[in-house]
Each structure stands twice: as structure tokens, then as C-alpha cells.
């Protein structure tokens, strides 16, 4: 046990949140097939350990930014499943009253600021929050979750350089799921291990097993401590895999079957379940999972009955209206 080892209670809670996320993804998959979703949905089945393990290592007052594939971060951060589902279905009761959708969900209360559908944008976003914290003298850390595709963007480089230069309290968590949209990382990245780039900024970098929620928790916890101490950023590359394709509009065909099978055999929820069953007994784990499943089912039921928002031009759209008496169409 290191200082960063989660307690059994914490482990069970992480497991619960991973299951919650998986239930969300699977139900969204069904809803999509039934023609009941709108716009593309980016499921994170198989990657739950990254978002959940990482957010579990944050303090309540910390910030986290994520990508278009942020469901595990939302639920890992403790957001209310009902309001998450409501947002995904564009309901008035969603975190953003239906204005954001699943990719642009933000919640000030929990510092989940937020999902971001511009690839790479979560990186400078967290870096800016970290700068604000440093200037305010606050011991608050910002965690940036981003993909392997995002690591090739210019803002990734600029942000890492600035964060390292100023020793900003930010943690860069690269969620490496092997693909950027349909393109394999070997056709996007000039190096197989992206953590190698940390040396170019003089910050620590490591590659970890992103399907092991404990490994993610520990690596992020250590990086968060370092950041909170004022020692600056770290880069953590968590290797994982996207089991269900890029999004609901993915036509597939580019992820080899054997590759999928290999990773399915290392499903993070299975791994976590096995570990927990040994420690706490299979029954307790099963009960926890059933409760999570029930919670998500209830979330869907309530959220889908919630009303759609009505269009009210000037609240909170006031700063946008131009000219003042109406603008628009």
C-alpha cells in the first residue's frame, strides 16, 4: 500500500461509478438504435477506468476538463446521473438546461468545466484554470483529460510548455485509446509512446495501464500531489481501448476483431470486479452493481419524462443579443 492506495470503500465506489458509466453507455446505445438520440454520441465503453480513476484522485475543490467522450469523467466526478441523462437528451432539467448536450456538459459546483468537442481544447482550458489558481494562491489543481489524437494538436504543445515553464498546478492525462476517430495512432503520432514527449518540457511522464482503475488513481493522485505542492505538471499516458467505435455515427470496419477481443478480455470493469470480489466477496460487488444499474435506469426514466426547454431569447443570452432589441433572424 502506497500513500496513494485507495481504501476498499474507495475502490467499491470507483467500481460503482464505472458500472454506472457502462450502464449509461449501453442504454445510450440502445436508445440510438431505437432512433431516440440526437446528434452523435461518443461512448467510452472499455475506458471507464480512466475517467473514474482520475477524478477519484481529485479533491472536491479541484477542476477537471474533458473531451467529447467525457461520460466517465462526468459520473466519476459525482455528477447526478439523472441530470447527465437529461442533458444528453436536451431536457430543461439537464446540467445546462439542454443547451450543451453530451459533449458540452459543464457544472460549476463540481468544477467539471467541462466537456469540450474541439479536439485538444481541454488542455489549455485546464492550464488556464491552473494559472488562475496559482495567481490566487489557491491549492487547487486542474486535471486535463484528452485523447491520443488531441496530443498532436498545437495547443497541446503550447499548453505543456507554458505549464511546465510556470510550474502550474495541472495534470495532463492522455487517454490513449489507440484511435483518433477512425485513424490508428500509428498513422497520427510519430512516436508509439506519447509520454516520451514529457521530457521535451522537463516534466515527469509515464505510461500506465489505463484499464486498471487503481493504477490510474495512483498515478493521478501522485501527479495531483506534485501539482498541489507547487512542483508543476505531469504527463500521464493511460493506455486503454475504445470498445464501441468512435460514435453512434461510426460505420465501423477499421478496428480489427482480434484487437477488440484482446481488449475486451481486459475490460476494466471485469478487472475491477475480480479484484473487489476477492477482497469483499462477490455478493457485495454484485449488490453494488445492481444498485448502480437501478440508479441509471431510474435516471433514464425520470430524465426522459422531463420537459424540453422552451426558447427564451434573453435569459441568459443577454450578452449575445445584437442589436439590443432583438437581433437574430
Partner 1 sequence: MAMMRYAEALNLALREEMARDDSVFVFGEDVAAYGGVFKVTQGLAEAFGDRVRDTPISEQTLTAMAVTAAMAGSRPVLEIMYADFLPLSLDALINQASVYHYIWNGQVSMPFVLRTQGGGGVGTGAQHAKSLDAMVAHVPGLKVVAPVTPADARALLKAAIRDPHPVIFLEHKLLYNLRGEVPEEDDAPGEIGRARLVREGGDVSIFATSRMVLEAEKAADDLAGDGIAAEVIDLRSLRPLDLGAITASVAKTNHAVVVNEGWRFCGYTAELAATIMDRAFDDLDAPVERVATRDMPIPYAETLEREVIPDAAAIAAAARRALA
Ligand X SMILES: Cc1ncc(C[n+]2csc(CCOP(=O)(O)OP(=O)(O)O)c2C)c(N)n1
Instruction: With CA atoms as reference, report the closest residue to 213 among 16, 30, 40, 11.
Output: 11
Characterize the bridge pairing of strands 183-184 and 179-180.
antiparallel
Name which position in 131, 198, 227, 299 contacts partner 1 (CB under 8 A). 131
Cβ proximity to partner 1, 60 vs 286, nearer residue: 60
Q: Which does 157 bind (CB under 5 to 8 A by kind): ligand X, Mg ion, its own copies, none?
A: its own copies
| 8 A C-beta contact, residue 248 and residue 32 | yes
Give residues 46-85 in contact with ligand X (rule: CB under 6 A): 67-69
Q: Can residue 174 be called a binding residue for its own copies (CB under 8 A)? A: no
Binding letters toward ligand X, positions 133-152, x by CB under 6 A: --------------xxxx--
Q: Which does 118 bind (CB under 5 to 8 A by kind): its own copies, ligand X, Mg ion, none?
A: ligand X
Q: Can residue 118 be called a binding residue for ligand X (CB under 6 A)? A: yes
Q: Which does 177 bind (CB under 5 to 8 A by kind): Mg ion, its own copies, partner 1, none?
A: Mg ion
Cα 243 to Cα 263: distance, rounded to the nearest angstrom? 8
Characterize the bridge pairing of strands 170-176 and 142-147.
parallel
**Three cell numbers at 140?**
487547487
Question: C-beta of 148: minimal distance to partner 1 in Å?
Answer: 10
Q: Which does 72 bind (CB under 5 to 8 A by kind): partner 1, its own copies, Mg ion, none?
A: none
Name which position in 105, 119, 131, 221 contacts ligand X (CB under 6 A). 119
φ, ψ at 122 (rounded to 5°): -65, -20
Q: Can residue 94 be called a binding residue for ligand X (CB under 6 A)? A: no
Question: C-beta of 150: minimal distance to Mg ion in Å?
Answer: 8
Cα 305 to Cα 49: distance, rounded to the nearest angstrom? 30
Residues 6+ apart with CB under 8 A from 21: 44, 48, 51, 52, 71, 72, 75, 76
Give residues 196-255 in contact with its own copies (rule: CB under 8 A): 196-197, 199-203
Query: What sign results for the dihedral spanned by CA atoms 204, 155, 147, 48?
Result: positive
| 8 A C-beta contact, residue 117 and residue 42 | no
**Three cell numbers at 163?**
505549464
From residue 216, give the alpha-carbon distance in Å to each of 14, 104, 219, 265, 277.
11, 24, 5, 19, 20
Cα 275 to Cα 295: distance, rounded to the nearest angstrom? 23
Q: Which does 197 bind (CB under 5 to 8 A by kind): partner 1, its own copies, Mg ion, none?
A: its own copies
Query: What sign results for the dihedral spanned by CA atoms 126, 106, 270, 31?
Result: negative
Question: C-beta of 155: minimal distance to its own copies in Å?
Answer: 6
DSSP E strand boundaries for the chain: 63-65, 106-107, 112-113, 142-147, 170-176, 179-180, 183-184, 205-209, 234-239
Give residues 126-155 in contact with its own copies (rule: CB under 8 A): 152-155
Question: C-beta of 200: minimal distance to its own copies in Å?
Answer: 4
Name which position in 6, 51, 114, 245 contacts partner 1 (CB under 8 A). 114
Binding letters toward partner 1, positions 164-193, x by CB under 8 A: -xx-------------xxxx---xxx----
Residue nearest to ligand X (CB): 147
- List contacts with its own copies (CB under 8 A): 152-158, 160-162, 164-165, 187-191, 196-197, 199-203
Amino acid at each position: 500500500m502506497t500513500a496513494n492506495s485507495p481504501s476498499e470503500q474507495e475502490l467499491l465506489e470507483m467500481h460503482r461509478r464505472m458500472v454506472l458509466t457502462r450502464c449509461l453507455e449501453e442504454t445510450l446505445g440502445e436508445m440510438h438504435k431505437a432512433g431516440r438520440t440526437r446528434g452523435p454520441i461518443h461512448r467510452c465503453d472499455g475506458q471507464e477506468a480512466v475517467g473514474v480513476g482520475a477524478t477519484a484522485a481529485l479533491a472536491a475543490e479541484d477542476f477537471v476538463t474533458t473531451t467529447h467522450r467525457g461520460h466517465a469523467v462526468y459520473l466519476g466526478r459525482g455528477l447526478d446521473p439523472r441530470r447527465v441523462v437529461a442533458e444528453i437528451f436536451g431536457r430543461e432539467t439537464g446540467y445546462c438546461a439542454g443547451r450543451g448536450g453530451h459533449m458540452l456538459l459543464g457544472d460549476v459546483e463540481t468544477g467539471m468545466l467541462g466537456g469540450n468537442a474541439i479536439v485538444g481544447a481541454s488542455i489549455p482550458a485546464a492550464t488556464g484554470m491552473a494559472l488562475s489558481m496559482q495567481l490566487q494562491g489557491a491549492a487547487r489543481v486542474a486535471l486535463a483529460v484528452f485523447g491520443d489524437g488531441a496530443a498532436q494538436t498545437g495547443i497541446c504543445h503550447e499548453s505543456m510548455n507554458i505549464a511546465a515553464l510556470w510550474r502550474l498546478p495541472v495534470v495532463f492525462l492522455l487517454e490513449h485509446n489507440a484511435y483518433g476517430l477512425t485513424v490508428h495512432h500509428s498513422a497520427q503520432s510519430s512516436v508509439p509512446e506519447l509520454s516520451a514527449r514529457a521530457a521535451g518540457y522537463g516534466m515527469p511522464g509515464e505510461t500506465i495501464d489505463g484499464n486498471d482503475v487503481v493504477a490510474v488513481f495512483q498515478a493521478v493522485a501522485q501527479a495531483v500531489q506534485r501539482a498541489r505542492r507547487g512542483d508543476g505538471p505531469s504527463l500521464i499516458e493511460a493506455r486503454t481501448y475504445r470498445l464501441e467505435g468512435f460514435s453512434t455515427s461510426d460505420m465501423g470496419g477499421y478496428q480489427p476483431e482480434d484487437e477488440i477481443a484482446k481488449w475486451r478480455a481486459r475490460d476494466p470493469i471485469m478487472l475491477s470486479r475480480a479484484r473487489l470480489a476477492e477482497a469483499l466477496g462477490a455478493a457485495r460487488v454484485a449488490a453494488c452493481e445492481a444498485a448502480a444499474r437501478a440508479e441509471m435506469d431510474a435516471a433514464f426514466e425520470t430524465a426522459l419524462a422531463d420537459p424540453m426547454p422552451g426558447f427564451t431569447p434573453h435569459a441568459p443570452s443577454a450578452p449575445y443579443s445584437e442589436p439590443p432589441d432583438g437581433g437574430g433572424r
